Structure 1
Amino acid sequence: MSNDDHFHDECGIFGVFNHRDASALSALGLHALQHRGQEAAGIVSYDEHQFHSERRLGLVGDAFTREEVINRLKGSQAIGHVRYATSGDTVLRNVQPLFAELALGGMAIAHNGNLTNAFTLKKELVRKGAIFQSTSDTETIIHLVANQADSTLADRLMGALARVEGAFSLLALTDEAMIGVRDPLGVRPLSLGKLDDAYVLASETCAFDIIGAEFVRDIEPGEMVVITQHNIASHRPFGPNKPSRFCVFEYVYFARPDSVM
């Protein structure tokens, strides 16, 4: 419960892979998820050469309906986030997706939920020399990825996720893949959709409806899907399956009534 003694929605995440209008579609998807967070919004895109980031305080419509903003977000891959602050103040440095240039390339991450061991992990990372630029749990994941030794960013993310605890769904974007993750108990929602040859990931299916995408399936609790130009691969970074503990407030409060849960 926040200091104003009112319920707020959790954050919302949305991503598109392999569509020429990825950023414009992401803005529409985030608009459909606006009820999940009204404090800030951001989109990161990739155009086969470099990443582009636009993050703003306020509503999606305050910035991402402007043509010049969408035109700066070039590329056929994009992920986005609408923020309700469950950790960290709502200042621009905490607005997601967060982006970092790592040894193996760039990575953007957006997540919905909380990491219950973020404080412990952050202390450990700071002792090892990590410098944090935000107070968001999301940056903890980025530093964990940077400390892994695997050969791909997707594998490094899997190694990082094996160390985190909490209730969350997550999107990551690299120069090769869009990645979607759900926590081991499936507390937070995440769904997979299809739009022609493009794949879409979103917190709720209402975001598929606004862009005309087809619902394919829910990402399973504890599942990590890696979408590339070649295929979709499913992984289990958290180990054996556990009984699902989906948040009941998604049904009665957080989610839109036209979303399929």
Structure 2
Amino acid sequence: MTQDDDGSFRQDHARLWGRRAALGALVAGAAGAGWWFTGPPGQSEPNLAATGADGAACLKLPEETNGPYPADGTNRLNGATVNVLTESGVMRRDLRPSFGGLTSVADGALLELEIRLVDVKAACAPLAGLAVYLWHCDAAGDYSIYGRAEANYLRGLQESDASGVVRFTTIFPGTYQGRWPHIHFEVFASASAAVSGTAALLTSQIAMPGAAAQALYLADARYAGSIAPLAGVTFEGDWIFGDNTPEQRAAQLMRLSPGGVDGLVTVGVLRA
């Protein structure tokens, strides 16, 4: 896979570190806002957490780079801006087919993913009406549009329901050299905000459980190309997840049902 043609991969990292540095300004007002922070000295983004009415804690997920393949209007490919968020058909639950006139379908192990959005500034209250744009690589480790010009699969936008829940039908992602298996996502104030180019409330990544990924990659020939990359990286050593606190990595790690079909992650957001 290749970098996009205007160097926005480097720009993504500059924006990432700028966002993380800016979070330092939130620390002074945390106690007054009813939420709390912890983290080791020098951590680029401290834990920002709250406790819900049920006594369970929620944690704001750390900001992460959207990478070189977001197709969200922030980068270019072959001289043109790539933005699927403005295309008809991007609002959907099932991410496996392509849309907008393309016909390629992603092949891989079924994953029913549930994302629960909660407000870290409001005692982990569910966030209804927000929008999640989600994208990830296919079983071969390629991203649609960039690595697969004939496809725009494994990308989609959904609004959260009254319980703050967004559901996607997709496949378990493969991986590629240097990265732990992961899923990218951005949270917007609404679907209209996402489509209009308004900045995301949160840009982050979900980590896949390692044991499940290894078992699948070894058993399913469609994931054969992911076996070696997975063997060469650890969750804690991944260059994106590795600089987060243990609590943040735990919050980013997707939980799987016993059958491995259903995935769940709770995403803490600082709602504007």
> TM class, shorter-chain normalised?
0.3 to 0.5
TM-score normalised over the length of structure 2: 0.31
TM-score normalised over the length of structure 1: 0.32
- The structure with the largest alpha-carbon Rg is 2
